[in-house]
Amino acid sequence: MNCPRCGRPLVQRRVSVCMCDTSPAIKIEGVPALVCENCGERVYKADAMERIEDIRDSMGAPDRVESMLVYRFELPIPPVGQPLINLATAGTSVLRYTALTS
Ligand SMILES: [Zn+2]
């Protein structure tokens, strides 16, 4: 399978999925994903997405607890039209979820 964004081949990896919109924020380690080494796009299969959603919805006892550093973004919002930065490649926790049925 090729990257839905840039068309390059995807490779199988285990990744960490961070969700900051939950309270508390959660990180799930070792999630299988197809990853684009060119643009950082991640593609998750449907069963992996279901497991992620199960963990998020149940929030059972975690394997461990980490603290998190929180910063406020102080810079002004850039004007429309500037090039987009791929946050996944920059190593942040901003992810795009794409479910596959195959
Ligand atoms: Zn790509």
Average pLDDT over residues 18-39: 93
Average pLDDT over residues 83-89: 54
Q: How many residues does the chain have?
A: 102
The answer to whether the CB of 13 falls within 8 A of the CB of 19 is no
pTM of the model: 0.68
How many whole angstroms from 9 Cα to the centroid of ligand 1? 8
Tokens describing residue 25:
């924020």
How many whole angstroms from 76 Cα to the centroid of ligand 1? 29
Query: Beta-strand (E) ranges in 1-102?
Result: 10-19, 26-36, 42-45, 99-100
How many whole angstroms from 40 Cα to the centroid of ligand 1? 6
Average pLDDT over residues 63-82: 81
How many whole angstroms from 59 Cα to the centroid of ligand 1? 31
Give the type of residue at 38.
Answer: N
